[in-house]
Structure 1
Amino acid sequence: MSLPRRAFVTAAAAFAAALTLAGCGSGTTGAAAELAPAKGSTAPNGTVVNLSPNQNRVSTPKVDAIAALVPEEIRKKGTLTVVDSLGTTPPLDFYANDDKTIIGVEPDIATLIGNVLGLKVEFNPVSWENIFVGLDSGKYDVGLSNITVTEARKEKYDFATYRLDILGFEAKKGSGLKVAGAKDLAGRSVGVASGTNQEKLLISWSEENVRNGLKPIDIKYFQGPEFYLALSSGRIDVYVGPNPSLAFHVVQSGETEIAGTYSGGGADVLGKIAATTRKDNGLVKALNAAVEETIRNGTYAQVLKRWGLEGEAVQSSEINPPGLPKPKP
């Protein structure tokens, strides 16, 4: 498979190889409940996944020098308000088998950051669009919900990176579909969640196909796990989303496969996931230093290993690195 950028090829190949070995389960609610077993299972690296509300999360000591970087208002309240998704995207962010406790790699990373900063972490699960509404209003301090760094978002938000952003394309098993670029989806019906970078990628690919005399992509929108039914029934040919959650579902269902992976940053930028906070509110340096501390002391690696996501590790946390480019006019 041809993938963008040499650096991305190495990371994505290792990650994709690991993800195809096995999967883990969740206790998600509603439509997502059918996707996972009621009890525990195994992560891609062979680690048994704890699906109970008693997570025994990896922890790390407070570092006073880093905690001192936190804006005074947040230090005084003693709480870091974290906004995340509604809990339906295992292994990133999903519900434990009590159907109410948020678990996954994102809450674990948030907890580590809170540890270093000496702050209690308060999770606030909301819909995707309300993550940014809450950050804009100051209701929440930081978003940790698989948020990709983009040049457009950098105008309103500051970022401290903590994972690579790898997108996946999920198709029915045996479809023969292989996705490495725009032409592979010409004339295809493709599902995606609105307001995401995956949507932007599909729109740009569709426009590219038209410019090249190919058919546009027939984009279908889904805001929840109902896309699995559309995929199994043939109403869509493929779905594009975060590779960890799609690979998770592939192993559980036994009916689908990953037809390709791609950098969440597009063809020219290595996509990166970041802790996201309102621009110039003074928090990003503390977030960056906290992530750096967890990388240094090894707890970051422990968390990724716990969820089988070692292939998404970053070597260091960056503040506002190059992000997904703005669409060309």
Structure 2
Amino acid sequence: MPRFPRSLLAAVLLMFAAVACAGPDPDQTGQQAAPAGVTVNTSPEQHRVRAEKVDAIAALVPQAVRDRGKLVVGTTGTAGPPLSFRADDDTTVIGVEPDVAQLVADVLGLELRLEPTSWENLFLSVESGQYDAGFSNVTVTEERKDKYDFATYRVDTVSFEVRKDSQIQQIAEPKDVAGLTISVSSGTNQEEILLGWDEQNRAAGLAPVNFRYYQSTGDYYLALDSGRIDAYLGPNPTLAYHVAVGGTTKIVGSVSGGGDITADIAAMTRKDNGLVRALNEALNTVIQNGRYAEVLGRWNLGSEAVPTSEINPPGLPRKPAS
């Protein structure tokens, strides 16, 4: 499938912004259908946006990595579309995370080698040096900065998704979730935000949130479709994609992944291994030349773009010792 022309990218952006959209078309092999005939390519043949090598930045890469000629990048492959997920062949990992990693590898003059792995093993493998970097919707935190270096490339946003026919029109502040049944993934930033909001509501004498936890994204959506939950709080990219291709839900509010604190998504490397500056400069190169915008536009994440990549910005604060 050819790269999206600018006119089609514009149509895709309009499609994702709308909540009225058609369901999947079984006749569209390798595509997920959306309104007005616009489709999302979910086939293994992604024809990714590519960038040119920049010799001065490539020279910043540690010699061992240059000698290998490959940038080994870990990603979960299970974060869900459009982040990092399996194509229609159930093998090829596609999404915005692999696409950004590809741009960085191109600028560094390296072949990209993606390594799908679990969330837990991603951190262990970057720390051990098995992977050069992790690109998997990783949020910068002060605790993680003890072991890893970061080069930012997106802002972290979480959103509330409800059924299209829901009476809920907006969730913007704690009082808006009082008394609702909401599902959220355990151990995530979004759970921490919702727990904080619920605590504020209880202190103010408002009805508590009824928390519901499920094992997979599919389970969350079955619960939402059946009316067992009022809303689902999750990563904005995943929810925006589901709204666009599913056609049965809508987003009614978004907040920073850090709650009241700005949160950043970043490429992660082992602490002080000498690679983070090369990643940072490669990211700033593709931000400046427009390739980065093409990738984010392809996956409807233009709203999460950063004007510049930063190394080790302030992260989410440490959790108090129990």
Q: Shorter-normalised TM-score: what interval?
A: 0.7 to 0.9
Segment drifting more, 89-98 vs 43-52: 43-52
Match of 2:56 in 1: 65
Residues 303 and 155 (structure 1 numbering): CA distance in 2 closer, same or farther, change over 3 Å?
same
1:246 to 213, 217, 239: 239
One-letter amino acid of the counterpart of residue 253, structure 2 = G
Aligned-residue CA RMSD (Å): 2.9
1:113 to 104, 112, 124: 104
Gaps of at least 5 residues in structure 1 are: 1-14, 28-33
Aligned-partner Cα distance in 2 for 1:211–1:156: 37
Question: Which aligned pairs between 1:48-197 and structure 2 lie closer than 5 A?
Answer: 48-177=39-168, 178-197=170-189
Is this contact kept in 2: 1:172–1:231, CA < 8 A? Answer: yes
Offset, 1:328:
5.4
- For residues 113-149 of structure 1, the C-alpha deviation after alignment (integer angstroms, 9 at most, x for no partner) is 0111111111122232332222233222211111122
Question: Which aligned pairs between 1:162-311 and structure 2 lie closer than 5 A?
Answer: 162-177=153-168, 178-225=170-217, 226-267=219-260, 269-311=261-303
TM-score (norm 1): 0.83
Aligned-partner Cα distance in 2 for 1:60–1:122: 16
One-letter amino acid of the counterpart of residue 157, structure 2 = I
Offset, 1:96:
1.8
Aligned-partner Cα distance in 2 for 1:196–1:186: 20
1:19 to 17, 20, 37: 17
Aligned-partner Cα distance in 2 for 1:143–1:79: 14
Residues 259 and 17 (structure 1 numbering): CA distance in 2 closer, same or farther, change over 3 Å?
farther
Aligned-partner Cα distance in 2 for 1:252–1:183: 30
Higher Cα Rg, which structure: 2
TM-score (norm 2): 0.85
- For residues 36-82 of structure 1, the C-alpha deviation after alignment (integer angstroms, 9 at most, x for no partner) is 97442467999653322122111111112111211222222222121
Residues 37 and 19 (structure 1 numbering): CA distance in 2 closer, same or farther, change over 3 Å?
farther
Question: Which aligned pairs between 1:28-67 and structure 2 lie closer than 5 A?
Answer: 38-41=29-32, 48-67=39-58
- For residues 194-234 of structure 1, the C-alpha deviation after alignment (integer angstroms, 9 at most, x for no partner) is 23211221222223233333344333333422211121223
Offset, 1:274:
0.8
Task: Work out the number of aligned pairs and report it.
Answer: 307
Secondary structure class of the residue paired with 2:206: coil
Offset, 1:18:
5.2
Secondary structure class of the residue paired with 2:199: helix
Gaps of at least 5 residues in structure 2 are: 1-12
Residues 239 and 290 (structure 1 numbering): CA distance in 2 closer, same or farther, change over 3 Å?
same
One-letter amino acid of the counterpart of residue 309, structure 2 = S
Residues 42 and 233 (structure 1 numbering): CA distance in 2 closer, same or farther, change over 3 Å?
closer
Aligned-partner Cα distance in 1 for 2:33–2:90: 19
Secondary structure class of the residue paired with 1:49: strand
Segment drifting more, 288-297 vs 63-72: 63-72
Identity of aligned residues (%): 53
Secondary structure class of the residue paired with 1:180: coil
Secondary structure class of the residue paired with 2:182: strand
Is this contact kept in 2: 1:44–1:308, CA < 8 A? Answer: no
